[in-house]
Structure 1
Amino acid sequence: MRHSGHLFRWWTAQGAAVLLLLSIVPAAGMAASAPVRAVEAAEVIGLRLGRHAGFLRLVFDLTAPPGYDARATGRRTFEVSLPHAALPPEGHAALADDPLAPDLVVRPAKGDGPLRFQVISRFDAFIRRTFILDPPRGGASPGNGPWRLVLDI
């Protein structure tokens, strides 16, 4: 009797494992077949610079939410990487209409890979903070305003 009870418990445990596996596999299959939304490529449509008390604010206007990396590469130089972004078809010339103060020089970095900008400061500087602002809501055309990547330097 003792042996048959042990066999029954073993069979029950194996059956429970099989039932659990059968319930998980279809759910995993449904999740795997769900469509994957592609990352919307952002386009840099403007650059602006504002002077504030004690810092400069550099703003990149974009057509979609950006992924980014901003870091210092020297005492006066920074690199802003926008991996899923592109310049407008006109290239950097399209951004030339937005003159920046002589305190910062901003230009696309050369080389392959993601879109990168080199930022050169006239003085020693550091990145105080970076953040993204969503498009304004409730304006003349809600949801169509630019996304903004903001760097306080």
Structure 2
Amino acid sequence: MRLVIQRVTEATVSVDGKIVGRCGPGLMILVGVGQGDQAEHAEWLAKKCAELRIFDDGDGKMNQSILDIGGSALAISQFTLLGDCRKGRRPGFTDAADPAIANELYQHFVHRLVGQGVPTETGIFAADMKVTLTNDGPVTFILERG
């Protein structure tokens, strides 16, 4: 699994012009599921997202987690995170998991993130989504497990 996490003041996801998920302040998380990914990878990454200290404390240092600030998350499935752009001019997606497996692991990740105490909203798996966000910092990290 590969995640791109962004510290945001707010984020929304829309499908067909209607907002279906939002968060803020907190994390906007793009979730890519790859071949061979397992439930334990989703669990490890959910715990990591909940506990990662990337929010400022009173001294302006990244020393607080999303749990510490009482933030929320928006998790969006994004198979293009597994795109391979090393050859040619068109990305290859053979490293991405089959959609049924990807959705199951994406939902498992979201469930575990909520279980860690992070209020989390989502987009709609495999839909054409429009995502807007205000990156705070900007602060962006890539997390991988698998």
Structure number with greater Rg is 1
> Which structure has the higher relative contact order (CA within 8 Å, separation 6+)?
2
**Common fold by TM > 0.5:** no
Q: Which category of TM-score, normalised to the shorter sequence, fits these structures?
A: under 0.3
